[in-house]
Amino acid sequence: MRAVAQRVESAAVRVGDETVGRIDKGVLVYLGAGKRDTERDAAFMADKLATLRIFEDAAGKMALCVSEVSGEVLVVSQFTLYGDVRNGRRPSFGEAAPPELAVRLYEQVCGHLAERGLRVATGRFRAMMRVSAVVDGPVTILIDSEKAF
């Protein structure tokens, strides 16, 4: 799985005229699943996102995780994180998980985060979404479960 995690002051996702997910201070996560990803990858990703120390402590150091600042998490499915642009100009998505696998892993990550007591908001899987965010820092971290095992 791949994720782009951004520290935000606020973030929201809309589908059409409806706001389907919204958070205040926390982490905006763009999450993509690869075709070889498993439940192990989902558990790894949830653990990493929940414990990522990207919030500043009293000394101004990034030493706190989202739960330690009473933050929230907005998870947006993003298969384009598997876009391969090494050849040509049009991305190839051959390494992205098929929708049936991707939605299951996406829901597992969200479930694991919620089990940790985090407030989790989501986008809508396979929908055309408009995401808005007030990025804080900016702090943006790339996470790839393939590099963990």
Instruction: Give the start-to-end residue ranges of the domains of the chain.
Output: 2-144
pLDDT tens, 87-140? 989 999 999 999 999 999 999 999 999 999 999 999 999 999 999 999 999 999
Residue 47 has pLDDT above 90, yes or no: yes
Provide the phi-psi class of 41: left if phi over 0, else alpha when psi is between -120 and 50, else beta.
Answer: alpha
Average pLDDT estimate for 29-55: 98
pTM: 0.96
Query: For residue 148, is pLDDT > 90?
Result: no
Q: What is the pLDDT of residue 32?
A: 98
Q: Catalytic residue, from 6, 79, 108, 122: name it.
A: 79
CATH of segment(s) 2-144: 3.50.80.10
The reply to whether 78 belongs to the active site is yes
- Tell me whether residue 19 is one of the annotated catalytic residues: no
Long-range interactions of 126-130: CB distance < 8 A, separation 24+: 126/77, 126/99, 127/15, 127/20, 128/15, 129/13, 129/14, 129/15, 129/20, 129/76, 130/13, 130/14, 130/15
Q: State the pLDDT confidence band at 11, using cuts at 50, 70 and 90.
A: very high
Considering 6, 44, 78, 122, which one is annotated as catalytic?
A: 78
80 is catalytic: yes
Check 80, 108, 122, 125 and give the catalytic one: 80
